[in-house]
């Protein structure tokens, strides 16, 4: 089961950030060469969140002691012991991450089908709403679940929905609208939608 966690555009090379997918806390990061990865957000050494770490080249390093990890989640380097070859057993739990249509998707293990492709659209923005997924979608008048479609501020939108908790979700919004004025109006409409959803307004 794929969960959308970010717009590709918002995770350029060398960026690492925390995301939640399927109830798990993950560190999402992109290597210098552009490879996207989603790992358990915890360094096996002392439990520090890896999402606070830093990316150099193709490795993610923990901010606490600089332990760095390669593509398979295997420990590459322990700076306190520069001559030590880290044992194979030191590993971060790796999830599957993939990109499609300007979205980053993650899954606990490789699903049979590739992630849904929203088609040729432009990313607008992601925003987190303190309200449940179903309530937000019905208030917005959008149809669908993981990829919901409809109109907001008079333009066509596709929204990838990331459930974060019973009363929290993130909306990753794509649109065909190209003009700056339309895009700004849509962005403001999303803020307005969030205000309404968080005020407990229900769909008519």
Partner 1 sequence: MTSEAIRNEWYPVALASQLGPEGRDTRLLGEPIRVDWAAQGRPRVRAADGREMATRLRYGHIWACPGTPSRELFDIPEADQPGRRLVDVGVVRVKCSPLRAVENFLDIAHFPFVHTDILGAEPHTEVGKYDVAIREEVDEVWATKVHFYQPQAAKSAAGGITTEYMYRVPAPTVSILYKTCPPRPGEWDVITLFVQPLEENLCEVWPWMALFDDETPMTDLIHFQQTIFLQDRSILENQLPRLLPLDPGMEIPTRADLTSVAYRRWLKRRGYTYGAQLVAA
Partner 2 sequence: MILYDYVLSPDCYKVRLLAALTGAKITLRAVDFHPGAEHRKPEFLKINPAGTIPVMEEDGLVLTDSSAILTYVAAKAGPEWLGDDDARMRARVAQWLAFAQRLSASIGKARTHDMLQKPADIDACRAGGIQCLREIEAALVEQDILGARFLAGDRPTLADIACFPHSMLAPDGGISVDAYPAIRLWTRRIRALPGFVEMPGIHRLHDLKPEPAKA
Give me the residues that bind partner 1 (CB under 8 A), please.
41-42, 44-49, 52, 63-66, 78-82, 84, 90
Name the residue among 72, 125, 121 with its Cα closest to residue 100: 121
Closest C-alpha among 53, 51, 16, 13 to residue 33: 13
Nearer to partner 1, 82 or 200 (CB): 82
Q: How far is CA 46 from CA 62, 74, 75, 120, in A?
A: 10, 16, 14, 43
Note the residues at the interface with partner 2 (CB under 8 A): 6-7, 10-12, 14-15, 17-19, 54-57, 59, 61, 63, 68, 77, 82-83, 124-128, 170, 180, 183-184, 187-188, 191
Q: Which does 23 bind (CB under 5 to 8 A by kind): partner 1, partner 2, none?
A: none
Partner in contact with 65, chosen from partner 1, partner 2, none, beta carbon below 5 to 8 Å by kind: partner 1
Task: Output 77 or 91, the one with its CB closest to partner 2.
Answer: 77
- 61 vs 162, beta carbon nearer partner 1: 61
Burial class (CB in 10 A: 0-12, 13-18, 19+), 24: middle
Residues contacting residue 111 through CB under 8 Å, at least 6 positions apart: 1, 2, 96
To the nearest whole angstrom, how small is the minimum distance from the Cβ of residue 58 to partner 1?
18
Rounded least distance, CB 166 to partner 1, Å: 22
Beta carbon of residue 59, minimum distance to partner 2 (angstroms, whole number): 8
Residue 201 tokens read as 């307004």
Residue 178's binding partner out of partner 2, partner 1, none, with CB under 5 to 8 Å set by partner kind: none
At its nearest, how many Å lie between partner 1 and the CB of residue 93?
A: 12
Q: What's the CA gap between 143 and 155, in Å, rounded?
A: 15
Dihedral of alpha carbons 139, 18, 10, 93, sign: negative
Nearer Cβ to partner 2 (109/197)? 197
- Min separation Cβ 52 and partner 2, Å: 8
Report how far residue 158's alpha carbon sits from residue 12's, in angstroms, rounded to the nearest whole number. Answer: 22
- Measured CA to CA, the distance from residue 97 to residue 158 in angstroms comes to 21
């Amino acid at each position: 089961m794929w969960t959308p966690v970010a717009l590709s555009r918002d995770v350029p090379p060398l960026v690492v950030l925390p995301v939640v997918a399927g109830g798990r806390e993950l560190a999402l990061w992109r290597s210098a060469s552009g490879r996207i990865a989603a790992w358990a957000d915890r360094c096996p050494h002392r439990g520090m969140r890896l999402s606070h770490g830093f990316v150099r080249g193709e490795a993610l390093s923990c901010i606490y002691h600089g332990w760095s990890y390669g593509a398979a989640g295997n420990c590459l380097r322990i700076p306190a012991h520069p001559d030590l070859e880290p044992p194979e057993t030191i590993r971060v739990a790796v999830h599957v991450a993939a990109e499609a249509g300007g979205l980053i998707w993650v899954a606990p293990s490789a699903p049979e089908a590739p992630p849904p492709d929203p088609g040729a659209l432009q990313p607008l923005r992601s925003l987190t709403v303190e309200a449940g997924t179903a309530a937000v979608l019905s208030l917005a008048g959008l149809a669908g679940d993981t990829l919901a479609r409809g109109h907001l501020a008079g333009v066509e939108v596709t929204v990838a929905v990331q459930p974060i908790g019973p009363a929290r979700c993130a909306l990753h919004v794509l649109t065909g609208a190209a003009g700056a004025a339309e895009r700004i109006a849509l962005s403001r409409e999303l803020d307005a939608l969030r205000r309404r959803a968080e005020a407990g307004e229900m769909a008519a």
